[in-house]
Structure 1
Amino acid sequence: MQLFRNMTFVVPLIAALGGAAVSAQETSAPKGINLELNAADLVGESCRVTFVITNKSEVAVDKAIYETVLFSDDGQVLMLTLFDFGALPSKVPRVRQFQVADTSCSRIGMVLINGANRCTVAGKDAPVCGQNLRTSSRLSIKLQG
């Protein structure tokens, strides 16, 4: 009986400590921009790339434009371009699509976010678009930043 009495105290204690660990993890995660390459579809003779982008910072971004480099599987630069992700509200995911003209998706091996070309918050240049940029890909095409 003594064992069960102690268990009624230990189980809630372990649950509370586990919850505290999760809360500490969530609050310690860096705040920045999360950019995921989500899809790449051939449309005619162009590759349409789809990104899911989430601004995890505390401020809304008015405009985010990233210098982007597309590489072939063997590392050759296919194209350097600008992707305009537009406005990024705080903590709200957005989906953005871009057409890469005259390029088959199968030719693209990696997409490199070379840096923020423009990032404005409240009408002024801001560093938030380049700070703590985290990239991921759901595809065989790599995304790096």
Structure 2
Amino acid sequence: MIRRPLSRLVVLSTLALTAPFSPAAAQGPEAAAAAAATGLSVELNDVATSERGCKLTFVTGNDLAQPLSKVSFEFVLFDQKGRVERMAVLDFRDLPAGKTKVRQFDLAGTKCDALGSLLINDAPVCTGEGIDKSACMQGLRTGSKSPVGLKG
């Protein structure tokens, strides 16, 4: 009779029960990465004081199969205390498929040091040949390299 330590069995059972399952993960790391990389990415790369107010620099990527002829996002700007300071729709223009673009927006009357975070609330414009209007928000990945956070 072969005896195996109970602790090994418990560890293996726990791993099997707690491991997340998705069809892409079951196909391997390449498929999981490809599934995670569909959609748009918006990164708040920099926030800088300008003559007019606050200049926001975004790095955007389009990992959809189709190019976007026009996309705009509705942003909610929160102050340092988490209160809504204002809302603004920013026009990111076109986003070619498989490309990364940098876009800058100067928000007149906004003080950079008063910003706590940004939220992408919606994509009121999301157009391109064969593109569903919801494609810009589905799978949206956000991030920030500035002190001001960005969520989608």
- TM-score in terms of structure 1 length: 0.80
Matched, 1:100 2:142: no
Matched, 1:118 2:125: yes
Give the match for residue 43 of structure 1. Answer: 50
Of residues 81, 84, 89 in structure 2, which corresponds to 1:77?
A: 84
Q: Give the length in aligned residue pairs.
A: 126
Partner of 2:135, secondary structure, is coil
Matched, 1:32 2:39: yes
Percent identity of equivalent pairs: 37
Q: Is the 8 A contact 2:95 2:101 kept in 1?
A: yes
Deviations 1:74-107 (A, max 9, x none): 0111111101001000110010011111111101
Distance 2:133 2:109 in 1: 34
Deviation at 1:130, TM superposition (A): 1.0
Superposed CA RMSD in Å reads 1.8
Structure 2 gap segments, 5+ residues each? 1-26
Q: Is the 8 A contact 1:45 1:104 kept in 2?
A: no
Distance 2:77 2:52 in 1: 16
Partner of 1:47, secondary structure, is strand
Distance 1:85 1:45 in 2: 20
Deviation at 1:34, TM superposition (A): 0.6
Deviation at 1:125, TM superposition (A): 5.5
Distance 1:132 1:140 in 2: 24
Give the match for residue 56 of structure 1. Answer: 63
Q: Which residues in structure 2 correspond to 1:7-26 (within 5 Å)?
A: 21-26=28-33
Q: Is the 8 A contact 1:40 1:47 kept in 2?
A: yes
Of residues 134, 141, 147 in structure 2, which corresponds to 1:127?
A: 134
Distance 1:49 1:82 in 2: 13
Distance 2:57 2:90 in 1: 11
- TM-score in terms of structure 2 length: 0.76
